[in-house]
Amino acid sequence: EVQLVQSGAEVKKPGESLKISCKGSGYSFTSYWIGWVRQMPGKGLEWMGIIYPGDSDTRYSPSFQGQVTISADKSISTAYLQWSSLKASDTAMYYCARLGRGLDYWGQGTLVTVSS
Amino acid sequence: EIVMTQSPATLSVSPGERATLSCRASQSVSSNLAWYQQKPGQAPRLLIYGASTRATGIPARFSGSGSGTEFTLTISSLQSEDFAVYYCQQYNNWPYSFGQGTKLEIK
């Protein structure tokens, strides 16, 4: 069974750093792109970027270039999304998803709350 | 960057009736178009890929059509569990992009 399991909810202060994770199982993790999607409270879905764990090829949406870093460790079938300095506007639900034919499998989401 | 525009923003339909949701791309995305359903508190779920192919386990009442810049998701006979937000998404050109969503509500 294909599964993407994300790390738990986080509460952080502005300026702090954060790295959240997405662990894949039940399929060849190195053979599919993994995407990260942001959903701000009450809003729609936004593509942040994608990574191919096989060779760590990474692409960012223009709105998120330079704002976050996407990485992967194929030895443990895990993708990451990280911030070096969080802002209140980073408060959102973050989803990882496998890019098969469309985003065919999704993680359960990681809620990130940034508040002073 | 390709902009995806969905219409209407909100659609009110009675159970058992047909719902038709539209999605327009600012330039051709061929058939590289997916539809997702999202219910409150849940992750999105893939319904349709390749503009018209149902994903695994998706009921036949969901159908997709279109190519190029104009796409439609049709739900033939609405069930109570179908009331949700629906998103289209193109994966023809990076950066991939979602529409803003259509909320399907009970009339």
For A46-57, write each residue's pLDDT tens digit: 999 999 999 999
B contact residues 34-53, partner A, Cβ 8 Å cutoff: 34, 36, 38, 43-46, 48-50, 53
Q: What is the pLDDT of residue A101?
A: 87
Checking if the pLDDT of A7 tops 90, the result is yes
- Cα–Cα distance for residue pair A48/A34, rounded to 1 Å: 11
Give the CA count within 13 Å in the CB-facing half-sphere of B39.
7
The rounded mean pLDDT for chain A is 97
Which of these, B9, B6, B13, lies nearest to B82 by C-alpha position? B13
> What is the mean predicted confidence (pLDDT) over A103-113?
97
Query: Residue holding tokens 């990681």?
Result: A110
Partner residue facing A62 (CB), from B38, B53, B95: B95
Q: What is the pLDDT of residue B23?
A: 98
Distances, alpha carbon A87 to alpha carbons A21, A77, A90, A112, B9, in Å:
19, 29, 5, 11, 29
Q: What is the pLDDT of residue A1?
A: 95
A contact residues 15-54, partner B, Cβ 8 Å cutoff: 35, 37, 44-47, 50
Checking if the pLDDT of A29 tops 90, the result is yes
Partner residue facing A101 (CB), from B1, B49, B85: B49
Positive or negative, the Cα torsion across A49, A96, A80, A67? positive
Partner residue facing A45 (CB), from B46, B53, B87: B87
> What is the mean predicted confidence (pLDDT) over A91-105?
96
Question: Which chain B residue shows the shortest CA-CA distance from A4?
Answer: B43
Chain A contact for B61 (CB, 8 A cutoff): no
Q: What is the C-alpha end-to-end distance of chain B, expressed in Å?
A: 36
> What residues of chain A lie within 8 A of the CB of B45, using their CB?
106
Q: What is the pLDDT of residue B74?
A: 98
pLDDT in tens, chain B (107 residues): 999 999 999 999 999 999 999 999 999 999 999 999 999 999 999 999 999 999 999 999 999 999 999 999 999 999 999 999 999 999 999 999 999 999 999 98
Evaluate whether A105 touches A98 at the Cβ level (below 8 Å): yes
- Cα–Cα distance for residue pair B28/A10, rounded to 1 Å: 39
Question: How would residue A73 be classed by pLDDT, with cut points 50, 70 and 90?
Answer: very high
Chain A contact for B68 (CB, 8 A cutoff): no
> What residues of chain A lie within 8 A of the CB of B48, using their CB?
102
A-B C-beta contacts closer than 8 Å: 62
Q: What is the pLDDT of residue A95?
A: 98
Which of these, A21, A26, A35, A53, lies nearest to A97 by C-alpha position? A35
Question: Which chain A residue shows the shortest CA-CA distance from B85?
Answer: A44
